[in-house]
Amino acid sequence: MELHTLKPAKGSIKNRKVIGRGQGTGHGGTSTRGHKGAKSRSGYSRKVGFEGGQMPLQRRVPKFGFKNINRVEYKAINLRDIQALVDAKKITDFDIDVFLENGFANSNAKIKILANGELTSKITVKAHAFSQKAVEVITALGGSAEKI
């Protein structure tokens, strides 16, 4: 192998497509744009959602429902998760900071306690909201559920 015999790998180099420079190039005349129509003209840019004059999908499909701007999103925490924390870390007083430290919610989330699962320990819970059943289960064991 010598410098004057080096060649690029086969297929790694392509010739530039010469457009609009006469019939000899094979791309003269219409310059690979086909015949007539908007796409053959200069300055053409396709509108978002344009389907060639057919009624666009976003106009064919009916609108329904709405987003309630006053909706309050809660991060749900079940009693089974609280019981698991009690078993693992012997925590009996639960407030927002405890839930944050253990990765149940982020700092700007509102927390709601739900009654899914079983609770066997007496605990004190402070949260933004509770389901009725969760309050019943917590108070039945002698604990307390306080809304923040």
pLDDT score for 1? 83
pLDDT (mean) for 98-104: 92
**Among candidate residues 83, 72, 148, 95, the one with its CA nearest the CA of residue 122:** 83
Tokens of 45: 């840019």
pLDDT score for 12? 95
What domains appear along the chain, each with residue ranges and CATH number?
A: 74-147 (3.100.10.10)
| Helical ranges in 19-141 per DSSP H | 57-60, 79-89, 96-101, 132-140
pLDDT score for 38? 87
Tokens of 127: 């949260």
pLDDT score for 52? 87
Sign of CA dihedral 106, 126, 73, 70: negative
Share of the chain above pLDDT 70, in %: 100
Determine the Cα–Cα distance for residues 86 and 31; give it in Å rounded to an integer: 75
Instruction: Tell me the CA end-to-end span of the chain in Å, nearest whole number.
Output: 80
Share of the chain above pLDDT 90, in %: 86
